[in-house]
Amino acid sequence: MGAGPPKQLMLVVDQAGYHIADEVTVPAGIRREFLPSYSLALQPAERLWPLTNDVVANPHFADIITLDDQVAVCCRTLSAQPEAVCSHARSHWWPTEEAA
């Protein structure tokens, strides 16, 4: 059963232009809840984009498959570097192993 009077859904989104544009139509039964502006602390994974952006920011890719392949190579490389990933994603409030 989809969203509607018997089943209400809440969709949590950031305040990116494509989420708040007047052209966005929200189906009945779905309510958007907006994160506060600049709420990276609520989504630590957002800090990981710089690790992948450098690979795809300036080159021209012949097609989406080639782009996808390049991002996959980058992700495989990062998966072998957990310290680098953790150092970008961790926040001052993030629990540490020492605190556990």
pLDDT in tens, 52-84: 888 888 889 999 999 999 999 998 998 998 888
More confident position, 94 or 46: 46
In this model, does residue 90 exceed pLDDT 80? no
Strand partners, 98: none
Q: Which domain holds residue 72?
A: 41-89
pLDDT band at 96, cuts 50/70/90? low
The pLDDT, as a whole number, for residue 57 is 84
In this model, does residue 93 exceed pLDDT 80? no
Could you tell me if residue 71 is inside a domain? yes
Record the pTM. Answer: 0.49
Same domain, 46 and 83: yes
Could you tell me if residue 21 is inside a domain? yes
In this model, does residue 99 exceed pLDDT 60? no
Could you tell me if residue 2 is inside a domain? no
